[in-house]
Amino acid sequence: MNVSNGQPLHLSLDRLFDTPGLSGPVPAMARYAPDGRRIAWLRPADDNFERLDLWLCDLASGHSRCLMDARDLGKERSLSDEEKARRERLRVFADGIVEFEWTGDGNAVLFPLAGRLYRLGIEEDSAPEPLTPADYFVTDVRIGAGGRIAFVHDRNLWLLEADGTLRQLTSEGGGSVSCGLADFIAQEEMHRFDGYFFAPDGQHVAFLKVDEAPIPLSHRYEIDASGFSVHPQHYPYAGGPNAQVELGIVDLSDGRISWLDWSGEDGEYLARIAWRPDSAALVIQRQSRLQQRLELVQIDLAGNARILHVEKSDTWINLNDDLRLLSDGRQALWSSESRGLRRLHRLDFESGQLQPLTPDDGMVLRLVDVDEAGGQVFVEGWFEVPTQRHLYRVDLSGKAAPERLTPAHGSHQTQVAPDFATFVDRREHLTQPPCLEVRDLGGSLVAELVANRTDTPSHPYHPFLSGHRVAELGELTAADGQRLFYRLTPPADEHEGPRPVIVSVYGGPGVQRVQDAWPPLIHQYFARRGWGVFELDNRGSGNRGRDFERPIHGQLGAVEVADQLLGLDFLKSLHWADMDRVAVFGHSYGGYMALMCLAQHPERVRAAVSVAPVTDWLLYDTHYTERYLGHPEHNVEGYAASAVEAYLMGLQRAGPGALLLMHGMADDNVLFTHTSRLMHALQEAGVLFDLMAYPGAKHGLAGRRTGLHRFRVIEAFLARHLEGQKGG
């Protein structure tokens, strides 16, 4: 039954954060086997949505089964510091099996669990076989040609030969030095999570040696339930030095290491590394300190460097993973936002010519795969509406328009089969939580791996469907004429008089919140509580191209807030919206936005919930901050105007207790210092505010119990300010 006494079944916070997850068995990391006959993926366990198990489908038979239940491998040991940091950067908050790789023959998968590497055959009766010693903690596993496996252990790079022999490839790792690991800036801001790279022929491994010693050592005080600990951290504050990065190549035949000079005249960041298909040279992307120059550089094994392509901008250049070197070694696929929206090009290294393959009114979001023999490229992006994400087939010659392959509407994350005949599609839309399907290139369904239909009585969310409020998509027009998209979840009792509105905001670069995708179910809880939820992607948000982002260059928290106010103007037109009862809620950049909206316009915002906010950009890292604000010495006014403390008078006018600050006390990304400094400033100014700090919690404030407690606090705070009562 979906109703109780004629009313929708009550959706409690406890149930929202309980097992099984209400969004169902949401799939992750779906990958074809090398022969294309099978697909493996991760999905949350039925008895614990925070644990991921490994599943397998044989496409010929259509049979799916759980290949590895993570519980069967026993209790997990504590993660290493490197692995904890890596997962935090990857936003991986689950336990169990969180990543895997197919072996080259497709007969087994490799996966690390609790720091040990296992091999598991795909036969029904296979048992996992440990490949690394129990006292090793492996991180970042990669498979090379000939069955060789590399990994990082104890801050050094190791090799597991096909016969099981272990070789230590580097020995300089330790202390401030790591070999084969991507550093903090690379992972968190450049989204490069790899620190080493197998040559296609398997004879060499390129790796990065990172020394953080040039970054002054600061101390982070992590407070947990039992006390506190002091963590020395080389945190690269804006305007300060970065880590020293060296590029080495190991010859696997004899273990000798050669070092390549990669930086050139003004190369501050080694952003991307790839091997040429013939394994004769590396092709790297090096980026200037202010990220206004990006060079594509070829470096051969003898160290000879040649610049292949240069891109410049008067604001900044967004990095991507769309470089694909073609087999002839003289051409590559390359995407660029140099004319506004990101287009895919064919780049000729000899002539330097760029041939566009996609139209200038569409946005390429990801290069998925290339079929050179078939003359086709597969990309994800939008060529119609920015709230959609589809898979397209693009003509490698550039003579035909992109052809959409994914059906209907929604958001699609895909992988194309090795024979380019089918693709696996992680599909979702406003009323469909993520499901997993296999389709042929004509769009016909080949296999349904994870249906995840909420209208099925066994689905966890099915009992709550009758009270579900379907979100609505719409658009507004910014002051400069650009299109702003919003997603609105109306309250359950919208016809019973004016209702409060929660503005759920992120608002920062690199992120798109408003999509035709399954919204967070906390919005359903708020809607049943009688509060509407409004989301708007302001200018500066991601996936909309250069021109949509660049208005924030030089000052943060100005254009973004102006666009959110435009959203409030729109809400006035709704019959149910009470504009005297508006609250703003956000996490990370969204926490910063919640503060700035309240501080700049307390007459329009009654309350704000700010979670893990940046409060002063001088306290954030080099690569991210300087991309938008430049070097602090050259933009003193911009940094000052972007800081929350510049608007303390607005927080005073907001009234007693209008602000709730929340922060993890072990946050190594947006340091707790951001909140503690704002706390001090508020106290000095006599501003009353609420605070909830989480001992031991990192930036994501991950975990079921933390999430449940956090939203109980948020609900009680919002109820007090929007309804004058305690939360339920």
Last residue within a domain, chosen from 95, 120, 137? 137
Residue 728 binned pLDDT confidence (cut-offs 50, 70, 90): very low
Distance CA 443, CA 412 (A): 13
The answer to whether residue 371 is domain-embedded is no
Evaluate if residue 575 carries a pLDDT over 80: yes
Helices (H), 469-553: 522-528, 546-549
Confidence of residue 219 (pLDDT cuts 50, 70, 90): confident
Residue 456 structure tokens: 């099925």
What are the tokens at 403?
């052809």
DSSP state of 174: B
Could you give the 3-state DSSP secondary structure of residue 448? strand
Candidates 283, 117, 141, 84; CA nearest to 200 is 283
Residue 614 lies in a domain: yes
CATH number of 278's domain: 2.140.10.30
Contact between 621 and 289 under an 8 Å Cβ cutoff? The reply is no
Residue 98 lies in a domain: yes
At residue 689, the pLDDT reads 97
Share of residues in the chain with pLDDT > 90 (%): 89
The pLDDT of residue 223 is: 60
Cα(540)–Cα(548) distance, integer angstroms: 6
**CATH number assigned to the domain comprising residue 43:** 2.120.10.30
Q: Are residues 127 and 196 located together in one domain of the fold? A: no
Torsion sign (Cα): 352, 356, 357, 363: positive
> Tokens 């016809």 belong to which residue?
495
Strand intervals (E) in 252-316: 257-260, 269-275, 281-287, 293-300, 305-312
Give residue 26's Cα distance to chain centre: 17
pLDDT at 1: 36
571/629 same-domain check: yes
List, for residues 581-618, the tens digit of each pLDDT value. Answer: 999 999 999 999 999 999 999 999 999 999 999 999 99
Phi and psi angles of residue 105, each rounded to the nearest 5 degrees, phi first: -85, -5
Q: What is the mean pLDDT of residues 90-115?
A: 92
User: Does residue 372 fall inside a structural domain?
Assistant: no
Average pLDDT of the residues in 187-207: 97
Amino acid letter, 242 = N
In a domain, 392, yes or no: no
Under the banding of pLDDT at 50, 70 and 90, the label for residue 6 is: low
Residue 59 lies in domain: 25-137
Work out the pLDDT band at 228, boundaries 50, 70, 90: confident
Rg (CA), the chain: 26
In sequence order, what are the beta bridge partners of 273? 284
What amino acid occupies position 77? R
**Is residue 688 over pLDDT 50?**
yes
pLDDT at 727: 40
Beta carbons within 8 Å of 250's beta carbon, 6+ residues apart: 157, 169, 170, 204, 205, 206, 207, 256, 257
User: Dihedral through CA 366, CA 370, CA 375, CA 381, nearest 10?
Assistant: -10
**60 and 119 fall within a common domain:** yes
Asked if residue 348 belongs to a domain, the reply is no
Say how many domains are in the chain.
Answer: 3
User: 508 and 604, same structural domain?
Assistant: yes
- Element spanning 245, H or E: strand 244-251
Interval 548-570 mean pLDDT: 98
Residue 722 pLDDT exceeds 60 = yes
Using pLDDT thresholds of 50, 70 and 90, give the confidence band for residue 7.
Answer: low
Amino acid at 399: K
Pairs from 13-16 (Cβ < 8 Å, separation ≥ 24):
13/525, 13/708, 13/711, 13/712, 13/715, 14/708, 16/521, 16/522, 16/525, 16/708, 16/711
- Mean pLDDT of all residues in 448-475: 97
Asked whether residue 94 falls in the same domain as residue 202, the answer is no
| Pair (542, 474) in one structural domain | yes
Q: Which residues pair with 477 in a beta bridge?
A: 483
Cβ atoms within 10 A of the Cβ of 529, count? 21
Residue 634 belongs to domain with CATH number: 3.40.50.1820
Edge-to-edge strand ranges of the sheet holding 472-477: 472-477, 483-489, 532-536, 499-505, 577-587, 607-611, 659-664, 690-694
Q: What is the mean pLDDT of residues 77-82?
A: 77
- CB atoms under 10 Å from CB of 702, counted, come to 17
Which listed residue (322, 667, 668, 721) is catalytic?
Answer: 667
Percent of the chain with pLDDT strictly greater than 70: 97
**Residue 670 in contact with residue 612, Cβ under 8 Å?**
yes
| Residue 499 sits in the same domain as residue 618 | yes
Q: Are residues 700 and 557 in the same domain?
A: yes
The reply to whether 172 and 116 lie within a common domain is no
| Rounded mean pLDDT, 47-58 | 95
**Which structure tokens are listed for 84?**
């904890």
Q: Are residues 184 and 241 in the same domain?
A: yes
Residue 541 lies in a domain: yes
Active site residue 588: yes
580 and 694 both lie in a single domain: yes
Q: How far is CA 297 from CA 163, 285, 311, 456, in A?
A: 36, 6, 12, 54
462 is catalytic: no
Query: CA 550 → CA 316, 475, 561, 652, distances in Å?
Result: 8, 20, 15, 31
Q: Which two tokens stand for residue 263?
A: 């930086």
Which pLDDT tens digit goes with each residue over 242-298? 999 999 999 999 999 999 999 987 779 999 999 999 999 999 999 999 999 999 999
Residue 612 CA to residue 431 CA, distance in Å, equals: 30
Q: Which residue has the tokens 């946050």?
A: 667
Give the end of a domain, one of 269, 301, 319. Answer: 319
Q: pLDDT for 9-29, tens place per residue? A: 899 999 999 999 999 999 999
Of 234, 459, 699, 721, catalytic: 699
Residues 513 and 650 in one domain: yes
Can you give the pLDDT at residue 265? 75
Helix (H) or strand (E) run with residue 649 in it: helix 648-653
Q: Amino acid identity of 97?
A: I
Q: Hunting for tokens 């090793």 — which residue is that?
A: 136
d(CA 246, CA 180): 11
> Active site residue: 588, 601, 616, 721, which one?
588
Residue 375 covered by a domain: no
Among the listed ranges 217-221, 325-329, 460-464, which one has the minimum average pLDDT value? 217-221
Q: What is the pLDDT of residues 333-372, one digit of tens each?
A: 999 999 999 999 999 999 999 999 999 999 999 999 999 9
Q: What is the pLDDT of residues 490-532, one digit of tens each?
A: 999 888 889 999 999 999 999 999 999 999 999 999 999 999 9
Could you tell me which residues are beta bridge partners of residue 269?
A: 287
pTM of the predicted structure, to 2 decimals: 0.95
User: Residue 560: helix, strand or coil by DSSP?
Assistant: helix
What is the DSSP code (8-state) at residue 237?
A: B
pLDDT of residue 270: 97
Q: Is the pLDDT of residue 76 over 70?
A: no
Q: What is the pLDDT of residue 2?
A: 47
Domain limit, last residue, from 268, 290, 319: 319
Distance, in Å, from the CA atom of 137 to the CA atom of 78, rounded to the nearest integer, reads 10
